[in-house]
């Protein structure tokens, strides 16, 4: 049985722990201190750390966790010099076995030039959200689904800043994510949903799905303090960076941002710049 647990770390980071019997891996640990007590409480061995990109709030726990547990460290081969302690560099398109779970490696460079995401096609039978100001709770509607570990490439209602990539990279990475199974859980690394949805509602004021999601966010977070993960299909109707790829919603976004209709690179670039200033 595959189980997904969320661990709130620092101010708004999320680490994911995937438990497969007595084996486990974690995704993007900022530090070891937040992870070690959870491993102990669950009585699981940490087989591996899986990294999406090199930022310190994603890899800061690598070295100490490896020293303590002897775990492997999986990360992007094309950015391996920036992943501390990496032992298992992976290529885009590769499938890698981590703690007995098969992950596929996706290219989502844009936030950083080395950013990758991981798709797990095996459904998670238990899914537990745990936010910074809440307590852990299972969310039944999220169970029985595969998952995408997207780091900072995609957030609920938005996407990561362009630190190293271009609008063309962002467009390409959104197309990669849009091609994934819609029922997948989007396991992103930060709780930015409120800020993202407020921006989305600002750009697309007539979009009822965005407004409904924003209006329901407090209730969504009430039980666990977290709105993450949620499904990719929900992103398809509320995330402006994915909506830009849709011809009808894209036309509205293009008009709002004064970008030629159909110019998805221009749209996601203008959306990201506007969000930076929002
Ligand atoms: Zn980052």
CATH code assigned at 50: 3.60.15.10
Answer whether residue 247 shows pLDDT above 90.
Answer: no
Whether the pLDDT of residue 131 is over 90: the answer is: yes
> Looking at residue 222, what is its pLDDT?
94
Q: Distance, CA 201 to ligand 1 centroid (Å)?
A: 24
Q: Which of 41, 43, 42, 74 is nearest to 59 (CA)?
A: 74
Residues 6+ apart with CB under 8 A from 96: 74, 88, 90, 102, 103, 105
Q: What pLDDT digit, counting tens, does each position of 2-22 carry?
A: 999 999 999 999 999 999 999
Band (pLDDT 50/70/90 cuts) for residue 130 is very high
Cα(10) to ligand 1 centroid in Å equals 14
Using a pLDDT cut of 70, give the percent of the chain over it.
100
Ligand 1 centre from 158 Cα, in Å?
14
CA of 21 to the centre of ligand 1 (A): 30
Tell me the pTM.
0.98
CA of 163 from ligand 1 middle (Å) equals 8
* Residues with C-beta atoms within 5 A of ion ligand 1: 55, 152
Q: Do 58 and 28 touch, CB atoms closer than 8 A?
A: yes
User: Ligand 1 centroid vs 267 CA: distance in angstroms?
Assistant: 22
Ligand 1 centroid to residue 3 C-alpha, Å: 25
- What is the per-residue pLDDT for 24? 98
Range of 13's domain?
2-277
CA 108, CA 115: separation in Å to the nearest integer? 6
CA of 260 to the centre of ligand 1 (A): 30
Contact 249, 222 (CB under 8 A): no
**Centroid of ligand 1 to alpha carbon of 111 (angstroms):** 7
Mean of the pLDDT values across residues 51-68?
A: 98
Domains in the chain: how many in total?
1
How remote is the CA of residue 200 from the centroid of ligand 1, in Å? Answer: 21
Distance 55 CA to ligand 1 centre (A): 5
Q: What is the distance in A from the centroid of ligand 1 to the CA of 162? A: 10
Residue 145 above 90 pLDDT? yes
The CA-CA-CA angle for residues 50, 3, 45, to 5°, reads: 55
Q: Which positions ≥6 away from 43 have C-beta within 8 Å? A: 22
Expressed in angstroms and rounded, the spacing between residue 71 Cα and the centre of ligand 1 is 22
Q: What is the mean pLDDT of residues 112-126?
A: 98
């Amino acid at each position: 049985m595959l189980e997904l647990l969320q661990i709130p770390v620092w101010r708004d980071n999320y680490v994911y722990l995937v438990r497969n019997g007595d084996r486990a891996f974690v995704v993007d640990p900022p530090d070891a201190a937040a992870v070690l007590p959870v491993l102990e409480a669950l009585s699981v061995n940490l087989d591996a750390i899986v990294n999406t990109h090199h930022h310190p709030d994603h890899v800061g726990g690598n070295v100490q966790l490896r020293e303590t547990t002897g775990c492997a460290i999986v990360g992007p081969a094309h950015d391996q010099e920036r992943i501390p302690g990496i032992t298992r560099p992976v290529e885009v398109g590769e499938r890698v076995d981590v703690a007995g779970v098969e992950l596929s490696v996706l290219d989502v460079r844009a936030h950083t030039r080395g950013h990758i995401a991981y798709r797990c096609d095996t459904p998670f039978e238990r899914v537990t959200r745990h936010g910074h100001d809440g307590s852990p709770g299972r969310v039944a509607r999220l169970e029985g689904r595969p998952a995408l570990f997207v780091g900072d490439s995609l957030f609920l209602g938005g996407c990561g800043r362009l630190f190293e990539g271009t609008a063309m990279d962002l467009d390409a990475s959104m197309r990669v994510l849009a091609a994934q199974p819609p029922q997948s859980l989007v396991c992103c690394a930060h709780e930015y949903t409120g800020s993202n949805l407020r921006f989305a509602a600002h750009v697309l004021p007539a979009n009822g799905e965005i407004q409904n999601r924003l209006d329901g966010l407090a209730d969504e977070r009430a039980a666990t303090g977290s709105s993450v993960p949620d499904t990719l299909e929900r992103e398809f109707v509320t995330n402006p960076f994915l909506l830009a790829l849709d011809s009808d919603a894209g036309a509205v976004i293009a008009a709002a941002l004064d970008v030629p209709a159909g110019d998805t690179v221009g749209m996601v670039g203008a959306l990201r710049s506007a969000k930076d200033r929002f």
